[in-house]
Homo-oligomer: A and B are copies of this chain.
């Protein structure tokens, strides 16, 4: 899976730490997802989608 997390975060001018806090996860989790190290769980994907006001399919995509 691919994702646009880094770009979306940059657009909103959020640091990894700020985004992590809004999502209720550690900064390492944000780093790992941005770097494509692993995919978020479904509940976390929902929270990410909610933070950015976008459907999950517009943030994450099967490559």
Using a CB–CB cutoff of 8 Å, the interface residues on chain A facing chain B are 1, 39-43, 45-46, 49, 55-57, 60, 62
Contact = CB atoms under 8 A, between A and B. Distances in A.
Nearest to A3: B42
A47 B60 CA distance: 13
- Stoichiometry, as copies per complex, reads 2
Contacts of A1: 42-43, 46
17 contacts: A1-B42, A1-B43, A39-B43, A40-B42, A41-B42, A42-B45, A42-B60, A43-B62, A45-B45, A45-B56, A46-B57, A46-B60, A49-B57, A55-B55, A55-B57, A56-B56, A56-B57
Contacts of A57: 46, 49, 55-56
